[in-house]
Amino acid sequence: MPPILPDFSNSVKLKYVKLGYQYLVNHILTLTLIPIMAAIFIEVLRMGPDEISNLWKSLHFDLVQILCSAFLIIFIATVYFMSKPRTIFLVDYACFKPPITCRVPFATFMEHSRLNLKNNPKSVEFQMRILERSGLGEETCLPPAIHYIPPKPTMEAARGEAELVIFSAMDSLFEKTGLNPKDIDILIVNCSLFSPTPSLSAMVINKYKLRSNIKSFNLSGMGCSAGLISIDLARDLLQVHPNSNAVIVSTEIITPNYYQGNERAMLLPNCLFRMGGAAILLSNRRSESRRAKYRLVHVVRTHKGADDKAYRCVYEEEDKESKVGISLSKDLMAIAGEALKSNITTIGPLVLPASEQLLFLLTLIGRKIFNPKWKPYIPDFKQAFEHFCIHAGGRAVIDELQKNLQLSSEHVEASRMALHRFGNTSSSSLWYELSYIEAKGRMKRGDRVWQIAFGSGFKCNSAVWKCNQSIKAPTDGPWADCIDRYPVHIPEIVKL
């Protein structure tokens, strides 16, 4: 809360003052324009029609002057429309629904852990504690290769998982949108930890027999925020190529990256990462504006890699026994907070209403000039967005963001429930969360959505979407069979 009026924070009066202030500042243009127009109107009425016709005749207009003005107007209009960035529409997207036979209940996970880590009961204890507090449910899924005792992470199994996830999501997308595979102009696949040759995008092109002049990209190594990086890339490409379709596939392949050693910092991802994927269709065609679900408004990317600590906080390396795993450092949350602040500073002016920006500016000036001890004003993002999709990296991430952005539990419900039902599916988790909001029937026309993702590097990326049309609760999709059970209360610690 702003420290300007600390004693009145609980007062009802303050609420109305705030509302009045917001209304005033946000609609300042309208509010100043209306009196001016009213004044002109009254003046016109007062003058009477004869005086107006006299006034009109007294203006001498040359043909040349008229033509020049007309050309000027047309020229300015043309320049404006030409330089306006193309609107990017999200036509539709599809999330991968894992087969129910890949389910991993807690008891099964712990048994496998005990059998595979026979000589390290402390590591098993650690995994159990992580699992109890993780916020995951009993229906998250791991790929088939990990169900073996011991796990069999062969390259063939990894390709198998990739085919299963990506092809299911794409088939689902084709069915939903009626897209012909030959109509795809741009293909971007992002999968951080599995990068074979030929690439996964080549695998997709091979399977669906896409055109030979397709622009394909494969992004790997970019962590959990790679989904939004792909969106950004697609947006830039769609500015250059008119009348095009872009398909983005976001996934994470778990099979080759299941850590088989004993190092605790590296065992953490095993407990949280689960199978998942999403396929998204973007387009800049005007004809899609009628059926598109969302419009892309902003994408803001922040990279903190220049800082050494941020660079090393999510690091893939070999442990003492030469087993490869991803090590998460202890100050991950602090670094994430810093990255978020950076991102907010950039995105704030783009999305916040004038009232919030003014307050922020005033507090900033006040801190600089009057008293540096004033707490910085945290803008109220709830006024800029109706829905929030926070990357379901783990319970700690969601808790931290909820605290920092002062969000209510309903705002973070989509993130928590996606974490419970699907686990941390990396770059595709944002799409499961969006799907949850739609499945609950909460998405109305004009609603704005903020997707925030964190990734190794350390990166914080945001995307802002505006809902194009009210979305009816879908009958298919990953939440179709279980949405009625949600929201579910997730206890702090699940007793195992």
Partner 1 sequence: MAEITYICKRTVVSTKPTQPGKYHSFSVLDHLMEKNHIRIVYYCKSWGEKEAGEITVSLRESISEMLTHFPKVTGRLIRNEKGNWMIKCNDAGVRMVEARAKGSVEDWLKIVDREKELKLVYWEDMIHKPYFWSTFYVQAWADKTLGQKMVSPPFFHPLPPRRPINKTSNHKPYADLINHYKFSIENSIPLLDANHTHTTITLSFSDHMVQACMDMVQPTSAPNKPNRPSSPFEALAGLLWICISKVKGLRNGLVNMSLCLDQRKVLGLDKGFFGNCMVCNKVHSNGLEEHNLSQATKVIGEALEKMDNEGIMDLIEWLKHNDSYSHPLMNNCDLICASLETAEPYSVDFVGGFEPIRVSYYVEPTIGIGQVLIFRAPSYDGPLGRVVMVTLPKDEIVKLCEDELILHLSPRILMGVARNHA
- Closer to partner 1 by Cβ: residue 103 or 367: 103
* CA distance to 60, 61, 62, 268, 456, per residue, from 65 (Å): 10, 7, 5, 74, 61
To the query of whether residue 95 is one of the catalytic residues in this protein, the response is no
Asked if 154 touches partner 1 (CB under 8 A), the answer is no
CA–CA–CA angle 184, 89, 250 (5° rounding): 60
- Among 420, 460, 461, 468, which one carries the catalytic annotation? 420
CB of 482 to partner 1, least distance (A): 10
CB of 116 to partner 1, least distance (A): 12
To the query of whether residue 303 is one of the catalytic residues in this protein, the response is yes
- Among 120, 271, 391, 467, which one carries the catalytic annotation? 391
To the query of whether residue 27 is one of the catalytic residues in this protein, the response is no
- Closer to partner 1 by Cβ: residue 104 or 165: 104
CB of 138 to partner 1, least distance (A): 4
- Closer to partner 1 by Cβ: residue 113 or 468: 113
To the query of whether residue 112 is one of the catalytic residues in this protein, the response is no
Measured CA to CA, the distance from residue 339 to residue 304 in angstroms comes to: 7
CB of 234 to partner 1, least distance (A): 36
To the query of whether residue 54 is one of the catalytic residues in this protein, the response is no
CB of 481 to partner 1, least distance (A): 10
Measured CA to CA, the distance from residue 159 to residue 206 in angstroms comes to: 14
**Can you say whether residue 192 is alpha, beta or left, with left for phi > 0 and alpha for psi between -120 and 50 degrees?**
alpha
Measured CA to CA, the distance from residue 229 to residue 188 in angstroms comes to: 10
Q: How far apart are the first and last CA of the chain?
A: 40
DSSP 390: E
- Among 112, 141, 303, 467, which one carries the catalytic annotation? 303
Among 18, 86, 152, 341, the residue binding partner 1 under the rule CB under 8 A is 152
- Closer to partner 1 by Cβ: residue 98 or 394: 98
CB of 108 to partner 1, least distance (A): 5
Residues 122-141 that bind partner 1 (CB under 8 A): 137-139
CB of 133 to partner 1, least distance (A): 16
Measured CA to CA, the distance from residue 101 to residue 403 in angstroms comes to: 37
CB 189, CB 183: distance < 8 Å: no
CB of 419 to partner 1, least distance (A): 16
- Closer to partner 1 by Cβ: residue 103 or 312: 103
CB 95, CB 168: distance < 8 Å: no
- Among 95, 387, 389, 467, which one carries the catalytic annotation? 387
- Closer to partner 1 by Cβ: residue 134 or 225: 134
Residue 129: phi and psi, rounded to 5, are -65, -40
- Closer to partner 1 by Cβ: residue 152 or 298: 152
- Closer to partner 1 by Cβ: residue 111 or 318: 111
3-class secondary structure, 313: coil
**Interface mask toward partner 1 for 89-118; x: CB under 8 A:** -----------xx-xxxxxx--xx------
CB of 149 to partner 1, least distance (A): 5
Asked if 147 touches partner 1 (CB under 8 A), the answer is yes
Q: Residue 299 burial (CB < 10 Å; 0-12/13-18/19+)?
A: buried
Token readout for 461 is 């990326």
The residue type of 50 is D
To the query of whether residue 489 is one of the catalytic residues in this protein, the response is no
- Closer to partner 1 by Cβ: residue 108 or 406: 108
* DSSP-assigned beta bridge partners for residue 317: 325
* CB hemisphere CA count around 426 (13 angstroms): 29
- Among 191, 224, 313, 389, which one carries the catalytic annotation? 224
Asked if 156 touches partner 1 (CB under 8 A), the answer is no
DSSP 425: -
Angle between helices 28-58 and 12-26 (to 10 degrees): 30
Measured CA to CA, the distance from residue 169 to residue 94 in angstroms comes to: 6
Residue 445: phi and psi, rounded to 5, are -60, 135
CB 343, CB 462: distance < 8 Å: yes
* CB hemisphere CA count around 403 (13 angstroms): 8
Q: Report the relative pairing of strands 324-328 and 314-318 from DSSP bridges.
A: antiparallel
Residue count at the site for partner 1 (CB under 8 A)? 19
> Would you name the residues annotated as active-site residues?
224, 303, 387, 391, 420, 424
List of residues contacting partner 1 (CB under 8 A): 100-101, 103-108, 111-112, 137-139, 144, 147-149, 152, 495
